[in-house]
């Protein structure tokens, strides 16, 4: 029997609740498909800060590296918001991304037919939206040096960061994005600010060069300000989007809100080799933590991405996705996606319904 | 009789058409209110590149500096898109902003009751949206040094830019934003990425410090990714937003698209002293240039901002705004805001209707 080691990083807020549910779904699908999953739970984020004083303990990174895939809940909360940078939960997240080398962040934004009314966009605009944002995750202004604080020549205090991309970083994320686009609608839109930024000019030049390896994919370019508009104006024009770390942070969140159901959206972060990191795109939602109100579906769908992109077991991923669809078809909804005429359930019950459907 | 010198920068694409119309509106309102406007037309953008080989001729900047206010149409077009950086129309725009020291860019995003259907957002979400984005315009990653291309220690080609803010830059834009918020709904939301970027940490610290000078304004902070979501989820939660140059570029365009009528939206760029720069937020729309199809209302409303923020003649600004409202109430629409039951008109005719209403 095949067996895989999965590191669980429940994290903060609603993280532990949604990860517990997704773990059960993973175990069940494993037993159905004839593989075993061994889980190891490790500390990260605020939970790690409280327990051991750092947001990413060395043991956590080591365990994550040694495993076959990582499932993360969510990190952060008001409690740690004013911490110094090296003691922020977010710094733990950035460190594990860098430590695992997961440079490609795949963020689907799909409007499910059952949930089209959840979008604030008009039905005819939201219906059928199916976008994949491929965000560069281990470079750019998040990691660029020099960074920090200082004084300028007028004696004025300054804060600064460096947006920086190397050809090798652009080429590898471009290849991932072209591969993704090829398996989807065959259209890739690269988003940058090449009319102003040198880092973007190099980005555009390299993405254009890599395009010759993928003659079957149609490449277009768009400035980031226009992309932010076009996502609102006509999101259906997009198939796959590739962009840098900071623009991807902003645009993938905008795209996810266009679906109206961010409690539904998973993400995958993968590298050249080594284990991938899978997590819902929603945050730790401290205001509803511990109240059995969270929507576990984004984490369950992240588990499906883990099976597909992390372990390469697409049949198992499909089973989970089908079970989620069935559960929605059966009318079950957590508070965030509730609408009159459906059945309001909590996090645990939603998990049970998915297990039944599995 | 009071008299003012106005520099007109028609620019490219539809720029000349919309500026011509706005000029007539300015002249008429001047004669009604008892002041004289003297206009001087100068080259900028692609038009300047074609005529004299640079996107911002020295004479243009000198004339602009010597005038009381500047009205700009739009710049750019496919023709110049692949030019080297110093020969891009956009570089002319950045140079005039820097040259005039207009560090505060005010971008209203207002959903007019007559045009609520133009938004892709559901009526109940779009209705009543009235946001002012105050964007820092002469600092940050647009201007930060070092910038350029190079080679890293692995011999790999790199492109890089510097996001940098000094305390004095943050303090002055924060003060403008608090002043604006005070005259509006009394709420200011500062947008940053202080959980990751040092430049944003300093931004948040200084905006918080300046808040003590404005005890009557309610300050909140939001991360940029969340702001991009919240603008889609519930734009009415925002009154005034203050943010850096690049985030402001993205969010103000997103906010404008939420109104559904970017052909309606003006902007003002002002400095500590010296003339301000006023321009519609839409682009040069080369595809409809010269066809008398452009919507001149954004430029006419930019002329109103010129009167209010540039010359301090609020009564004249109000007259123009009222004339625009009346023209919409009379049912006139250009193609971009047309809906069945209204009267479709071209750029010139729309201008004539505004003049009549004046
Ligand atoms: C928490 C934060 C550091 C993080 C990011 O900006 O990458 C988050 O917004 C995300 O998108 O995963
Ligand atoms: C044309 C471009 C350089 C400019 C900017 O990014 O500032 C434009 O998008 C704007 O917002 O005025």
Q: Is B292 a catalytic residue?
A: no
Task: Collect all residues with Cβ–Cβ distance below 8 Å to A273 and sequence separation of at least 6.
Answer: none
Q: Which two tokens stand for residue B137?
A: 């315009």
Three-state secondary-structure class, residue A191: strand
B279 CA: nearest ligand 2 atom: 12
CA B342 – ligand 1 centroid, Å: 45
CB atoms within 10 A of CB B17: 27
The C-alpha atoms of residue B227 and residue B217 are separated, in whole angstroms, by 19
Q: Is B156 a catalytic residue?
A: no
The C-alpha atoms of residue B32 and residue B35 are separated, in whole angstroms, by 8
CA B307 – ligand 2 centroid, Å: 23
Q: Is B193 a catalytic residue?
A: yes
Q: Which of B217, B142, B144, B143 is nearest to B174 (CA)?
A: B217
Please report residues of B whose CB lies closer than 8 A to that of A76. 195
pLDDT tens, position by position, A289-320:
999 999 999 999 999 999 999 999 999 999 99
DSSP A214: -
Number of the ligand closest to the Cα of A253? 1
Q: How close is the nearest chain B Cα to the Cα of A165, in Å?
A: 6
Beta-carbon separation of B202 and A254 below 8 A: no
Look at residue A81 in the predicted model and tell me its pLDDT.
87
Which of the residues in chain A have pLDDT under 50? none
Report yes or no: A304 and A317 within 8 Å, Cβ to Cβ: yes
Please report residues of A whose CB lies closer than 8 A to that of B84. none
CA B225 – ligand 1 centroid, Å: 8
Number of the ligand closest to the Cα of A98? 1
Look at residue B1 in the predicted model and tell me its pLDDT.
73
Instruction: Domains for chain A: give ranges and CATH numbers.
Output: 1-105+262-358 (3.40.718.10), 120-259 (3.40.718.10)
Report yes or no: B16 and B73 within 8 Å, Cβ to Cβ: yes
Beta-carbon separation of A159 and B203 below 8 A: yes
Please report residues of A whose CB lies closer than 8 A to that of B254. 228-229, 231-232, 254
Look at residue B177 in the predicted model and tell me its pLDDT.
98
The C-alpha atoms of residue A324 and residue A317 are separated, in whole angstroms, by 11
The C-alpha atoms of residue A25 and residue A21 are separated, in whole angstroms, by 7
Q: Is B4 a catalytic residue?
A: no
CB pairs under 8 A between A and B: 182
CA A345 – ligand 2 centroid, Å: 47
Three-point CA angle A25, A30, A33, nearest 5°: 125
CA distances from B137 to A117, A209, B5, B167 (A): 38, 33, 24, 15
Q: Which of A290, A284, A315, A308 is nearest to A108 (CA)?
A: A308
CA A284 – ligand 1 centroid, Å: 12
Look at residue B265 in the predicted model and tell me its pLDDT.
96
Closest Cα in chain A to B153: A166
Residue having the nearest C-alpha atom to atom 4 of ligand 2: B90
Which of the residues in chain B have pLDDT under 50? none
Which of B119, B195, B258, B337 to probe by mutation at the A interface, max A CB count within 10 Å?
B195
Residue having the nearest C-alpha atom to atom 8 of ligand 2: B249
Q: Which of A291, A236, A344 is nearest to A13 (CA)?
A: A291
pTM more than 0.85: yes
Catalytically active residues of A, by annotation: 142, 193, 225, 249, 253
Task: Collect all residues with Cβ–Cβ distance below 8 Å to A292 and sequence separation of at least 6.
Answer: A17, A346, A347, A348
Q: How close is the nearest chain B Cα to the Cα of A357, in Å?
A: 31
pLDDT tens, position by position, B303-344:
999 999 999 999 999 999 999 999 999 999 999 999 999 999
Number of the ligand closest to the Cα of A255? 1
Look at residue A261 in the predicted model and tell me its pLDDT.
86
B2: buried, middle or exposed (CB in 10 Å: 19+, 13-18, 0-12)?
Answer: exposed
The order of strands in the sheet holding B187-192 is B35-41, B2-11, B69-74, B276-280, B266-270, B104-110, B130-136, B240-243, B187-192, B218-223
B55, B78, B93: residue to mutate for ligand 2 pocket, most atoms within 8 A of CB = B93
């Amino acid at each position: 029997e095949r067996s895989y080691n999965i590191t669980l990083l429940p994290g903060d807020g609603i993280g532990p609740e949604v990860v517990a549910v997704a773990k059960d779904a993973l175990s069940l699908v494993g037993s159905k498909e004839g593989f075993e999953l061994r889980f190891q739970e490790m500390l990260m984020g605020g939970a790690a800060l409280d327990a051991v004083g750092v947001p990413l303990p060395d043991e956590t990174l080591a365990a994550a590296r040694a495993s076959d895939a990582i499932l993360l809940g969510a990190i952060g909360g008001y409690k740690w918001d004013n911490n110094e940078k090296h003691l922020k939960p977010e710094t733990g997240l950035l460190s594990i991304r860098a430590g695992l080398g997961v440079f490609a962040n795949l963020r689907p934004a799909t409007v499910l037919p059952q949930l089209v009314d959840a979008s604030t966009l008009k039905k005819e605009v939201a219906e059928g939206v199916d976008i994949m944002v491929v965000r560069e995750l281990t470079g750019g202004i998040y990691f660029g040096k020099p960074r920090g604080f200082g004084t300028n020549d007028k004696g004025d205090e300054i804060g600064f960061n460096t947006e920086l991309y190397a050809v090798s970083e652009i080429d590898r994320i471009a290849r991932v994005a072209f591969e993704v686009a090829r398996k989807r609608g065959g259209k890739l839109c690269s988003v940058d600010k090449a009319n102003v930024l040198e880092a973007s000019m190099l980005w555009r030049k390299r993405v254009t060069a890599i395009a010759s390896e993928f003659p079957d994919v149609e490449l277009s370019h768009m400035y980031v300000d226009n992309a932010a508009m076009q996502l609102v104006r006509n999101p259906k024009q997009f198939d796959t989007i590739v962009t840098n770390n900071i623009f991807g942070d902003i645009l993938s969140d905008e795209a996810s809100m266009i679906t109206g159901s961010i409690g539904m959206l998973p993400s995958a972060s993968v590298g050249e080799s080594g284990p991938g990191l899978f997590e819902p795109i929603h945050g730790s939602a401290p205001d509803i933590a511990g109240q059995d109100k969270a929507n576990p579906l984004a984490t369950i769908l992240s588990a499906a991405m883990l099976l597909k992109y992390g372990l390469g077991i697409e049949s198992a991923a499909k089973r989970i996705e089908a079970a989620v669809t069935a559960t929605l078809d059966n009318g079950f909804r957590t508070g965030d996606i509730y609408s009159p005429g459906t059945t309001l359930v909590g996090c645990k019950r939603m998990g049970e319904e998915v297990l039944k459907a599995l």
